[in-house]
Amino acid sequence: MGMFGWSYPPGCSSVPGDEAEICEVCATVDDCICPECPVCESLGDPKCYLPTEQGGHGMVLNEEQKASVKKMEEWTKQENERYEYLGTHIDEEL
């Protein structure tokens, strides 16, 4: 047992199953805001948003989903810029 009362297996940095899950459609973390598909009754399934001609169910993103996706895109851009900045400055110090 580790010094904190638990021991993770090699390569595991957190409790299995404790990772945040991001919805592939609305990009929310853990609390999907996607409506239920009227055809298959699933939530957050990207296939449901494909046109019917492509084997999907023809669902369209609502305004709340669009706002969530935009928020995640902005956050990702900021994080990428931050890592680029850190990477350049770390290289300069080495």
pLDDT, tens digit, for every residue of 41-58?
A: 999 999 999 999 999 999
What is residue 48's DSSP assignment? G
Residue with structure tokens 């902005």?
74
Residues 6 or more apart whose CB falls under 8 angstroms from that of 28 comprise: 22, 68, 72
Which of 7-11, 36-40, 82-86 has the weakest average pLDDT? 7-11
Cα gap 32→20, rounded to integer Å: 12
Count the alpha carbons within 13 Å of 78 in the hemisphere toward its beta carbon: 6
Report residue 22: phi and psi, to 5°.
-105, 130
Its pTM stands at: 0.63
